[in-house]
């Protein structure tokens, strides 16, 4: 039976909204855990937009919109096409639909490539740190996020930003990041006080960031409007990062089975299993 006052197009839109809106039928909303590249003290309470990264070049804007309609009615969808990996923004009518998109669609494969979904934020929500003093933080454990890193260094009052470097394709941490300070002395104190301290499951390394390598170089921005580097902008190399430092020749291997035994292949100097953890030292 047709509803009075609604034309066929309006009725179709209403039916689509009802069909695609799980929150009308589901139980309590699952809240996404804040992670990835979000500003310090980020509050998602009023957010209705999500950032979508690592989008396969073959994905079109209509396809992107169709995928994200699965969690609720969409107000707008914008796709920024790039040769290797595109990105975009989806704006919902309500926050619940956006939260559900982050929980259910982050990591979903489109054309064999996992997309990265997170809260979108305005560029004004991040302080400009281009003139701030930046330090490099290495040996970060996989579970450390921007928020975790900032919380660790925010004991220094002039700490302005913290970013973990993320791999665009996998969405995983690359094991290092950058922290910015308005005051140079606070930056030096952080290096002196926190170098070698435990954060998560690892002891972190702190040093001055190489010139030009700052937290602003993150290439996975979850922003609505940005005048900064594009997502294609490559992070400046840092000689102090683990993959570039020949001094680091010890690797950790966890989650070993109880029956694991030691087999020392060539180029490994020593190998030791302790409580199902393997520690191997490579020969320089």
Residue 231 lies in a domain: no
Identify the domain boundary among 120, 139, 160: 120
pLDDT at res. 91: 96
Residue 223 lies in a domain: no
Mean of the per-residue pLDDT values for the chain? 74
Instruction: Give the pair of three-digit tokens for residue 58.
Output: 């073959």
Which CATH number belongs to the domain containing residue 65 in this structure? 3.30.70.330
Confidence band, pLDDT 50/70/90 cuts, at residue 217: very low
pLDDT at res. 232: 33
pLDDT at res. 45: 83
Question: Distance between alpha carbon 265 and the CA centroid of its chain, in Å?
Answer: 36
Residue 263 lies in a domain: yes
Confidence band, pLDDT 50/70/90 cuts, at residue 238: very low
Region 265-276 average pLDDT:
56
**3-state class of 233 per DSSP?**
coil
Q: Note whether 89 and 51 are within 8 A (CB).
A: yes
Say if residue 58 is in the same domain as residue 144.
no
Identify the domain boundary among 94, 120, 146: 120
The domain total for the chain is: 3
b/e per residue 182-193 (b: at least 16 CB within 10 A): beeebbeebbee
pLDDT digits (tens, 9 = 90+) for 32-90: 666 656 666 677 788 899 999 889 999 999 999 999 999 999 999 999 998 888 999 99
Of the spans 26-30, 144-148, 232-236, 242-246, which averages the highest pLDDT? 144-148
Say if residue 13 is in the same domain as residue 88.
yes
Confidence band, pLDDT 50/70/90 cuts, at residue 19: very low
CA angle, residues 183, 188, 189, in degrees to nearest 5: 95
Residue 273: beta bridge partners? 278
Q: Note whether 160 and 129 are within 8 A (CB).
A: yes
Query: How many helices and strands in the chain, by DSSP H and E?
Result: 5, 15
Question: Distance between alpha carbon 257 and the CA centroid of its chain, in Å?
Answer: 30
Residue 267 sits in which domain range?
A: 250-282
> CA-CA distance, 178 to 135, in Å (whole number)?
6
Higher-pLDDT residue of 177 and 216 is 177
pLDDT digits (tens, 9 = 90+) for 161-215: 888 888 766 767 899 999 999 999 999 999 999 999 999 899 999 999 987 665 5
Predicted structure pTM score: 0.51
């Amino acid at each position: 039976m047709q509803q009075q006052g609604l034309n066929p197009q309006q009725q179709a839109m209403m039916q689509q909204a009802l069909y695609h809106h799980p929150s009308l039928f589901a139980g309590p909303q699952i809240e996404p855990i804040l992670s990835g590249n979000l500003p310090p003290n980020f509050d998602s309470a009023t957010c209705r937009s999500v950032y979508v990264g690592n989008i396969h070049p073959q994905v079109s804007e209509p396809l992107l919109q169709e995928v994200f309609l699965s969690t609720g009615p969409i107000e707008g969808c914008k796709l920024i096409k790039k040769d290797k990996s595109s990105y975009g923004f989806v704006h919902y009518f309500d926050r619940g639909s956006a939260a559900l998109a982050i929980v259910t669609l982050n990591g979903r494969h489109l054309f064999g490539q996992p997309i990265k979904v997170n809260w979108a934020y305005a560029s004004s929500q991040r302080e400009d740190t281009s003139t701030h003093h930046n330090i490099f933080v290495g040996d970060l454990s996989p579970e450390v996020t921007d928020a975790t890193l900032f919380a660790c260094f925010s004991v220094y009052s002039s700490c302005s930003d913290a970013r973990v470097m993320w791999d665009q394709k996998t969405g995983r941490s690359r094991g290092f990041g950058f922290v910015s300070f308005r005051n140079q002395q606070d930056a030096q104190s952080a290096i002196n006080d926190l170098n070698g301290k435990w954060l998560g499951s690892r002891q972190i390394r702190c040093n001055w960031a190489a010139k030009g390598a700052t937290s602003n170089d993150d290439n996975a921005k979850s922003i609505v409007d940005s005048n900064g580097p594009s997502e294609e902008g490559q992070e400046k190399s840092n000689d102090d990062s683990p993959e570039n430092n020949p001094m680091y020749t010890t690797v950790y291997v966890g989650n070993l089975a109880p029956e694991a035994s030691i087999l020392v292949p060539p180029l490994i100097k020593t190998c030791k299993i302790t409580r199902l953890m393997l520690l191997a030292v490579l020969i320089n």
